[in-house]
Amino acid sequence: MRSKSSNPTCRRWATPTDDTAGARTNSEHRNPLIPESLQPDFIAALEAHQRGDRDHARTKLADIIARHPDCHEAIVMHADISAESGDLQTAEAALRRALEHAPEQPEYLQRLARILLRQRRPIEAAEIIERLIAMRPADATLHTELANIRLFARQFVPAEAAFRRAIDIDPASTTAGSGLILALAGQERNEDAVAEALRFTERCPHVAEPYARLAILLERLDRIDEARPHAEKAVAIDPSHGLALFALGTIQLRAGELEPARRTLERAEAVATDPNDRSAVARTLGQTLDRLARYDDAFRKFADSKPAAETLSPAIRHMTDELLRFIDASRRVLDPWAVASWGDAPSYKAFSTPPIFVVGFPASGATLCQRMLAAHGSFITADELPAMSKLREHLQRHAPGIENVPAYLARIGEPEIRILRAHYFNEIERLLARQDPIGKRLVDHHSINLAHLPIVRRIFPDAPVIVCIRDPRDAVLSAFMQPARGPVAAALLSSLPRAADYCNAIMQLWIHLREVLGLRSIEVRYENLVTNTEDEARRITTFLNETWNPDILRKINRGQAPDDFTPQSIGRWKNYRGHFGAALDSLNPLVKALGYTPD
């Protein structure tokens, strides 16, 4: 979270917005790089953009580009406005066109990298920033940007290295200092992260950010008493610092100081301008109001924390639609006879054993299971990595089409399976570069992999699968309340009705697949994890043919469980019954099918 937000989009062309701007002449808006004949349209585009009329601005810019195709200033402004509108593909195309005219223009390259990152293409984005670093090796902001891209891709080791280079160049960089803490925490080097956060406070003793970062880190390590003074100091340094207020409010919530937490978080909400910051504050404020039994107010805050449907890019809508069509096709196409026709799969060469898959509708206990296994010591865990999604995309290109992938699984033979396994393990090894897999079993945890179980069965037929199940009403509500992991999940869980639709689709698919795939699977119920944690943990380790390790429970007791892992989370949906509307009726058949009592 940032205390203040900055929007780089169109900053280069931003026009004055103070009270005297309207009296200024057009000559003050002129761009010397634009030919004289194009100046009126360029000024009109600037003024339209200033008014918020993006369509008119884009039309004027399109006119300029049509008459002057090599006017890369207009092309890039068109790209920026397209990016503002969420049309990232148009923005990318425009920037690449501008770079044809100005291939070494750093500002254009940096814009392109940011557009690629927004499209979840971090490798391409990183390559562009590395190209810029080669031009300007002493630019700390570029090293920080590269590090943030690595952080986004969960490549924590190279992220750490890039943040350290940025700090070497600019020790006072709060962005690099904050990022380095996150990179170390991502490697589960918690004590190193704490030590680095303390050094951050020493480098910048009169700045709120380092103390706020340290407080948040200690809170997440369940060291609440240590965290509080750092949060209080951050707020004392800057009473309007959003991250500091958020840290203090979160600590007050964890300590059960509900009214003080509410007041502090409302202050944080008042100063948060970045959408991600506002979302995090609204969600935590919703949790506070929930515990105060102000359920209607809490629901409004949870709704505020979700992205508006109109802000989702066309690319994300397309990815979401493809996933739902794949789920539907799997239910229609796959039956015991289809699966029997697949035949045997080859033995393993990479990794000594097949992966273990932990799946389930979000907020159903899969994250807790993954963390249990991470604490065991015999496993290396991949948390929410897209390796199986990459396999689905590969199959989709050859099927061709997403609806044809389930049927296409019968047509692939041993050579193709070996290739797909190699793709999978290469992707895993690339993403888990920070961990040593020798002697450990791979755990792939991703909620969306529940949809990918047909591919799992074809490529890894003897892979153990842990399927986490929860009362659909509680699961839908909790998934709606929690932050989504990735843009597709954000789209699917953006409202209670959408979350209910997705829960119906994915869990009805599981009910179908458990009868036809013949998976080596175990169902783990969230309610049992909450009320009989050790028994369920032992059942999981026995299923995986591993010995019991009490570190599993110590990890849970040290605050490693998800936030709502409490008995109070069972039946919570009843407090929000009025907000479900028709979604409650739509879930009732699934509720019954999974063995719960319908409303």
Q: Give the pLDDT of residue 136.
A: 93
Which comes out higher in pLDDT, residue 559 or 408? 408
In 119-176, where do the E strands start and end? none
pLDDT band of residue 438 (cuts 50, 70, 90) is low
Range with the poorest average pLDDT among 49-53, 115-119, 190-194: 49-53
Range with the poorest average pLDDT among 367-381, 510-524, 556-570: 556-570
DSSP state string for 481-510: HSPPSSHHHHHHTSSHHHHHHHHHHHHHHH
Q: Give the pLDDT of residue 453.
A: 97
Q: Give the pLDDT of residue 516.
A: 94
Q: Is 425 a residue whose pLDDT tops 60? A: yes
Bond prior to 400 in cis (omega within 30° of 0): yes
Q: Is 21 a residue whose pLDDT tops 50? A: no
pLDDT above 90 coverage of the chain, percent: 54
Which amino acid is residue 33, in one-letter code?
Answer: L
DSSP 8-class letter at 12: G
Q: Is 15 a residue whose pLDDT tops 90? A: no
Give the predicted TM-score (pTM) of the model.
Answer: 0.79
Which comes out higher in pLDDT, residue 344 or 238? 238
Neighbouring CB atoms inside 10 A of 23's CB total 6
Closest CA to 106 of 139, 61, 83: 139
Closest CA to 407 of 353, 346, 332, 313: 332
Backbone phi, psi, residue 313, to 5°: -70, 155
Q: Give the pLDDT of residue 309.
A: 61
Which comes out higher in pLDDT, residue 141 or 52? 141
Alpha helices (H) along 187-312: 190-203, 208-220, 224-237, 242-254, 258-271, 275-291, 295-304
Q: Is 16 a residue whose pLDDT tops 60? A: no
Closest CA to 387 of 428, 443, 435: 428
CA dihedral sign of residues 554, 557, 558, 564: positive
Residue 267 three-state SS: helix
Q: Is 163 a residue whose pLDDT tops 50? A: yes
Walk across the sheet containing 379-383 and list its strands. Answer: 379-383, 441-445, 356-360, 464-469, 520-525
Q: Give the pLDDT of residue 582.
A: 93
Q: Is 556 a residue whose pLDDT tops 80? A: no
How far does Cα 551 stand from its chain's mean position?
Answer: 28
Instruction: For 320-332, write each residue's pLDDT tens digit.
Output: 999 999 999 999 9
Q: Give the pLDDT of residue 37.
A: 67
Mean of the pLDDT values across residues 516-527? 95
CA dihedral sign of residues 174, 179, 185, 189: negative
Considering just the CA atoms, what is the radius of gyration of the chain in Å? 26
pLDDT band of residue 263 (cuts 50, 70, 90) is very high
pLDDT band of residue 10 (cuts 50, 70, 90) is very low
Q: Give the pLDDT of residue 563.
A: 54
